[in-house]
Chains A and B, each alone.
Chain A
Amino acid sequence: DAGITQSPRHKVTETGTPVTLRCHQTENHRYMYWYRQDPGHGLRLIHYSYGVKDTDKGEVSDGYSVSRSKTEDFLLTLESATSSQTSVYFCAISESTSGRASQANEQFFGPGTRLTVL
C-alpha cells in the first residue's frame, strides 16, 4: 500500500470553528489532492498541489484553503466550518498526470477523515 496517512481520522466540531486536516505521504509523489465524498455525489476535487507551494483550485474550493510547505505534507483548512462541510475527506497522491492511462498517474488514496460540523 502507498504510504499515505491522514489525521485526524474522525473529528466533530462546531459551526464557525477553524479545522485543519493533514495529509502525509512517504512516496515523494509530486501531486497531492484533497477530495470530499458525499452521498449522491462522486468524489469531488477541492484543491490540488503540483509541487511545494504550488496549488490550484478544484471544483468545490469555496470555504477551503490549502498549503504545501513540504513535499510530504498537504494541509486542508476550513477557516470557519459550516454544516455543509460535513463530509468524508480523502487525500490522494500521484506521481504524474501525463494524461495517458498509466501506472504513473494512478491516484492513491489515504484512509479518509470523517468530519462532522454541528
Chain B
Amino acid sequence: RKEVEQDPGPFNVPEGATVAFNCTYSNSASQSFFWYRQDCRKEPKLLMSVYSSGNEDGRFTAQLNRASQYISLLIRDSKLSDSATYLCVVLIVTDKLIFGTGTRLQVFP
C-alpha cells in the first residue's frame, strides 16, 4: 500500500463548478500535511498547508480527518487557471515529505 494515495483523475469540470479531492495516508504518526500544485512540465508549488482545524484561502478549503487518515481539498468557483495537478503531501516523523502521485484537474469553459 502506498503511503499517500490519491485518485489520479482527471477531474473534468466546467468553470464555476465546485470540485473536491481526497487523499489518504497510511502513517498514523504523520505530522503535517500540504497541498501542492504542479502545472504541466513545471515544478510543484505550495498551495496551502492543512491544519487540524481546517483552513481556507479564498476559493480553496483544506480539511484534515486524523481519525480516518485523509485530507481533502475543495475548490469553489473553478477557474480555467485552476487546471493543474494537485499533489497531496505528508510530512512523516522522519521529517521527510511523502508525495502522492497527484490528481489532475481540467477546468473547461
Contacts and interface: CB of A to CB of B under 8 A. Distances in A.
Interface residues of A, number: 24
Interface of A: 35, 40-45, 48, 58, 90, 97, 99-103, 105-112
B57 interface: no
A5 to B, nearest CB: 11
Interface residues of B, number: 24
A102 B48 CA distance: 10
B105 interface: no
Nearest to B99: A42
B97 A101 contact: no
10 contacts: A40-B101, A42-B102, A48-B96, A99-B95, A100-B31, A101-B49, A109-B44, A109-B45, A110-B43, A111-B42
Contacts of A107: 46, 97
